[in-house]
Structure 1
Amino acid sequence: MNQRGSLLTQPLQPPSAGRVLLYLGLFVLGLAVGVAGSLLQGAWFPGGLLLALAGEAGLCLGGGLATRGRGGSIAPAAGWLIAVILLTASRPEGDFLFGAGGGSYLFLLGGMAVAVICATLGQGWQPGGRDVRLGK
């Protein structure tokens, strides 16, 4: 049996400074991909839409692989979502970035779906060592 105890009984350790910087960097990259995708999806429809969603998927999956956890997928997805939500708001002058076309809605809903899929596919915590299988 595992001598360390259950995951629920272990005390939580604060993340290291490097890990916090990695998550912050992924968040900022998510912001950048959200802004770039917002501009790109309207410029070259439908290729720009597919490229923008592929960029977000690559960043979220890459973040999950880099951190070996779901947090690496969630950090850029949160940055993407914040950037896109801020860009959908119209300004007092009447200017806006997103039109009311189907491409904009596909970008918004497709991007949210990509973020959820990538966070779901992210690697969770897996125990290691000889005691991984029960009964051995």
Structure 2
Amino acid sequence: MSAAGRPSSLAQPLRRPSVGRVAAYLGLFVLGVVVAVAGALVQSGWFPGGLLLALAGEAGLCLGGARAARSRGGAVAPAGGWMLAVILLTASRPEGDFVFAAGGGSYLFLLGGMAVAVICATLAPGRQPDGDAVRLGK
């Protein structure tokens, strides 16, 4: 129990997410895919500025999604879309075509993007309880 007599957020049962929240996470996932495809095309074209632009775009989307959703899920959804798209783009086709060349910039984009996604999901603010009695001292 909290100081106000209400059960703490840890003791409450899990609630089903609203349809709006699920739609927002799905939209952030799709935006993560779009940012990954755009970053894959830009990062090698204008090296090193394109690489920095692609990673900054991913970081902005993840942190912006976390702020908009006010939860870590808002950062995880675009990061998941980004990682899925990048992994699918690394596969070569039977014709021999590929998006990523074998070079340092491509590896920096792949590994740096995954690191940015993890950092943004870790630093994103978690849900905070509402009300006046959110501090233990009150």
Deviations 1:35-93 (A, max 9, x none): 00001101110011011001101100100000001000000000000000000011112
Q: Which has a greater percent of helix? A: 1
1:7 positional shift: 2.2
Deviations 1:68-120 (A, max 9, x none): 01000000000000000000011112211111100000001110111011111
1:2 positional shift: 3.9
Between the aligned partners of 2:130 and 2:21, the Cα distance in structure 1 is: 21
| Alignment partner of 1:125 out of 120, 123, 127 | 127
Between the aligned partners of 1:135 and 1:58, the Cα distance in structure 2 is: 36
Q: Are 2:101 and 1:105 equivalent residues in the alignment?
A: no
Q: Are 2:33 and 1:31 equivalent residues in the alignment?
A: yes
Between the aligned partners of 1:90 and 1:3, the Cα distance in structure 2 is: 59
> Unaligned 5+ residue runs, structure 1?
none
| Alignment partner of 1:92 out of 82, 91, 94 | 94
1:132 positional shift: 1.7
1:131 positional shift: 1.6
> Could you tell me which residue of structure 2 aligns to residue 72 of structure 1?
74
> Could you tell me which residue of structure 1 aligns to residue 5 of structure 2?
3
Asked if the contact 2:33–2:78 (Cα under 8 Å) also holds between the matched residues in 1, the reply is yes
User: What's the RMSD between the two structures over aligned residues?
Assistant: 1.1
Q: State which drifts further: 50-59 or 3-12.
A: 3-12
Between the aligned partners of 1:135 and 1:47, the Cα distance in structure 2 is: 49
The one-letter amino acid of 1:125's match is R
1:5 positional shift: 1.1
Displacement over 6 Å in runs of 4+: none
Aligned length: 136
**Aligned sequence identity (%):** 74
Between the aligned partners of 2:132 and 2:10, the Cα distance in structure 1 is: 20
Corresponding residue SS for 1:108: helix
